[in-house]
Amino acid sequence: MKRWILVPAILLLGATWNPPIEKVSWEVSRVRSFIHYSTTHDIDAWGVADYWQTPVETEYLRLGDCEDLDAYAQELLWQRLGIEAKLVVYRAPFGVHTCLTWGGYYFSAADYDWPFAQPSRSFPAAWSILQVLTRAEVHSRFTGGKHGSQQLRLSLLQ
């Protein structure tokens, strides 16, 4: 094939390519393998009611609560697969929790046996979605920076 045809064809395919949900789910499961879910409340760990760690802090600590793990996964998916999952803050009977949404699925790096440990196409009707945050909106929420700079280049799972 002529190069002047091949290059635009590759660019066109690259612009429209979306990874399968299995690939996304695999990346999210890697976060669970390397970063531990902390049940310590932010007020006890950080002295503030709600502390959003930067992904670099989370990587350094290898520890975080739900929003920290999902913010980390959101960044990882952006850097590894070029997709922007949105971070969902929701209220359920067990409290306020987070998950990610992308491609019509809900999933979470913080869930081991909770509802979104595996990608789900449905969101429980009885639960309330409080916020749906883009990557930029999540970045504006970061409280952190204590353990490392605000730079977002991840290294642990690259």
Residues 6+ apart with CB under 8 A from 49: 42, 43
- Hey, what are 28's tokens? 């999210």
Minimum distance from CB of 118 to Ca ion (Å)?
23
- Could you say whether residue 42 binds Ca ion (CB under 5 A)? yes
Burial-class residue 133 by CB neighbours within 10 Å (0-12, 13-18, 19+).
buried
The answer to whether 147 touches 139, Cβ cutoff 8 Å, is: no
SS3 category, 15: helix
SS3 category, 100: strand
- Could you say whether residue 27 binds Ca ion (CB under 5 A)? no
Pick from 27, 35, 51, 100: which binds Ca ion (CB under 5 A)? 51
Q: Residue number with the shortest CB distance to Ca ion?
A: 65
Minimum distance from CB of 46 to Ca ion (Å)?
7
Distances (CA, A) of 65 to 3, 90, 106, 111, 140: 49, 14, 18, 10, 18
Minimum distance from CB of 50 to Ca ion (Å)?
7
Of 144, 116, 112, 145, which Cα lies nearest the Cα of 36?
112
- Could you say whether residue 65 binds Ca ion (CB under 5 A)? yes
Nearer of residues 27 and 68 to Ca ion, judged by Cβ: 68
Residue 66-105 contact track with Ca ion, rule CB under 5 A, x = bound: --x-------------------------------------
Number of residues that bind Ca ion (CB under 5 A): 4
> Interface with Ca ion by CB under 5 A: which range of 10-18, 65-73, 115-123, 131-139?
65-73
Contact set with Ca ion (CB under 5 A): 42, 51, 65, 68
